[in-house]
Amino acid sequence: MLSHTYYHVFNTKKKREYINITGVVEKQLAESSVREGLVLISAMHITASIYVNDAERGIIEDIDEWLERLAPEGIDYKHHRTGEVNGDAHLKNLLLHHQVLVPVTGGCLDLGPWQQIYYAEFDGRRPKKIVIKIIGE
Amino acid sequence: MLSHTYYHVFNTKKKREYINITGVVEKQLAESSVREGLVLISAMHITASIYVNDAERGIIEDIDEWLERLAPEGIDYKHHRTGEVNGDAHLKNLLLHHQVLVPVTGGCLDLGPWQQIYYAEFDGRRPKKIVIKIIGE
Amino acid sequence: MLSHTYYHVFNTKKKREYINITGVVEKQLAESSVREGLVLISAMHITASIYVNDAERGIIEDIDEWLERLAPEGIDYKHHRTGEVNGDAHLKNLLLHHQVLVPVTGGCLDLGPWQQIYYAEFDGRRPKKIVIKIIGE
């Protein structure tokens, strides 16, 4: 069994931001030499998500508005008693989830034609980290 | 390490539809000869989900109404500027998620007594595809 | 390839309850001898979830209130025609999801500094079961 671990470290510029990381994952898959297996892409934060959907500007805006509607900012969350002000970012993380698992077939990410892998930031302007773990053979 | 890949291709008859695919996954597990490992079941679409819950007609109706309440049709989504009319289906996909991972123990799907695997369609009446990826030994 | 399976069986005291199970998972990882691989933690119920977030009392209260807002009790769910009264618990399960996958690197759970693994109960006061499946080498 082969395994390959990579930490993608980067800075986010905005509080909320949606970043296509499909290319980052593809590069690591090529380096892993895995032909058949699984790639886990997991945010190492509790205020960020990894999801799979369309690389289309409109739907990204829709996702952002929808998250804000279901898990809004500006509420007096109990978490804020700690001095934090990011209660909404925790709930947005739970709604979209912090991880995605992609099958690897013939050395490629086995995604549908419109499926792109995104990192969603909900409490940014800080260094952030994603773990990419590839296992297979 | 063994690996087994199967693409389940089918047509959906209705716009929204909930299909129990547990038997499809069990059949592939038997063909894979894997006794200990993991099965990934992943929709290859951005307007469909895979989830685990009850094979009970009432709860399926409840899930459908709940998804429609939290991610409704009939909104002027920004995604619709592309000519698409399925913005709600993208959000329903994100809410339920597009994939499930099931442990394999002793050659069987290691599910609880009420856990059944469902494909949920949100933009159907078209050919659809699920990837089933099994790894283990 | 190594594989290790453990069923964590326990009783929940309250109807809704949030239990940090990170230590339970770490103990099983140590017993598995896996140094590089994946750990799947999956609730074997359709009215409970596994999620990763903060071990902070306030955010747990926020999560509970948020789940109750988006998937409330006291609605005449169609599932209740079966005699059940836990329709909301099924929807809460779907919202938070029933499973999490954690990478294993150097024999440790490869989590971010604030990431803790929780079991969330939505229909408790009964014996409950989580399957922990570890594969790797």
Inter-chain residue contact B97 with A95, CB threshold 8 Å? no
d(CA A115, CA A26): 13
Query: What angle is formed at CA A15 by the lines to CA A13 and CA A21, rounded to 5 degrees?
Result: 60
Q: Evaluate if pTM is beyond 0.95.
A: yes
- Average pLDDT over all residues of chain C: 98
> Residue A116 has what pLDDT?
98
Label residue A10 by pLDDT band (50, 70, 90).
Answer: very high
A69/B contact by beta carbon, under 8 A: no
User: How confident is the model over A120-125, as a mean pLDDT?
Assistant: 97
pLDDT band at C83 (very low <50, low <70, confident <90, very high): very high
Give the confidence band of A110 by pLDDT, cuts at 50, 70, 90. Answer: very high
Q: Where are the domains of chain A?
A: 2-136
Report CB contact under 8 Å: B58, C71: no
User: Kindly report the CA angle at B50 between B46 and B52, in degrees rounded to 5?
Assistant: 155
Calpha distance A42→B133 (Å, rounded): 19
Q: Taking CB atoms and an 8 Å cutoff, what residues of chain C touch B101? A: 40, 42, 99, 101
What average pLDDT score do residues C57-81 get?
98
Given a contact cutoff of 8 angstroms between Cβ atoms, the answer to whether C103 and C38 are in contact is: yes
- Cβ neighbourhood burial of C3 (10 Å; 0-12, 13-18, 19+): buried
Residue B125's pLDDT band (boundaries 50, 70, 90)? Answer: very high
In the block, tokens 């970012």 appear at A89
Residue recorded with tokens 């659809």:
B128
Predicted local distance difference test score (pLDDT) of residue B95: 98
User: Is A81 in Cβ contact with C105 (below 8 Å)?
Assistant: no
> Beta-strand (E) ranges in A1-137?
2-11, 17-20, 37-43, 48-53, 99-105, 108-109, 116-121, 127-136
Number of Cβ within 10 Å of residue A114's Cβ equals 15
In terms of Cα–Cα distance, which of A22, A41, A16, A19 is closest to A92?
Answer: A16
Measured between CB atoms, which of A44, A80, A82 is closest to C115?
A44
Closest by Cβ to C61, choosing from A43, A44, A78: A78
Average pLDDT over residues C27-44: 98
- The predicted-structure confidence for B27-57, as pLDDT tens digits, reads as follows 999 999 999 999 999 999 999 999 999 999 9
* Helices of type H across B33-129: 57-70, 87-96
Question: Could you tell me if the ipTM is greater than 0.95?
Answer: yes
* Chains A, B: CB pairs < 8 Å: 89
Q: What is the mean pLDDT of residues B109-128?
A: 97
Residues B136, C40 contacting (CB under 8 angstroms):
no
- Closest by Cα among A91, A18, A103 to A61: A18
> Span C34-56, mean pLDDT?
98
- Cα A108 to Cα A20, A23, A134, B28, B108: the distances in Å are 17, 12, 12, 21, 28
Q: Which residues in chain C have their CB less than 8 angstroms from residue A94's CB?
A: 51, 53, 63, 95-96
CA torsion angle A96 C9 C84 B97 (round to 10): 20
pLDDT at A14: 96
Eight-state DSSP code of residue A82 = G
User: In whole angstroms, what is the distance from residue B130 CA to residue C100 CA?
Assistant: 21
Helices (H), C1-137: 22-32, 57-70, 87-96
The size of the B-C interface in CB pairs under 8 A is 90
Q: What is the DSSP letter of B114?
A: T
Q: What percent of chain B has pLDDT over 70?
A: 100
Q: How many CB atoms lie within 10 A of CB C5?
A: 18
**pLDDT confidence band for A7 (50 / 70 / 90):** very high
- Dihedral over Cα of B61, A115, A65, A91: its sign: positive
- Segment B83-108 mean pLDDT: 98
Distance between CA atoms of A122 and A16, rounded to whole angstroms? Answer: 5
Give the pLDDT mean for C76-88: 97
- Alpha-helical segments (H) within C35-113: 57-70, 87-96
Residue entry with tokens 């326990």: C10
For C62-72, what is each residue's pLDDT tens digit? 999 999 999 99
For the domain spanning C2-136, the CATH number is 2.60.120.460
With CB atoms and an 8 Å threshold, state whether B44 touches A112. yes
Q: Identify the three-state secondary structure at position C130.
A: strand
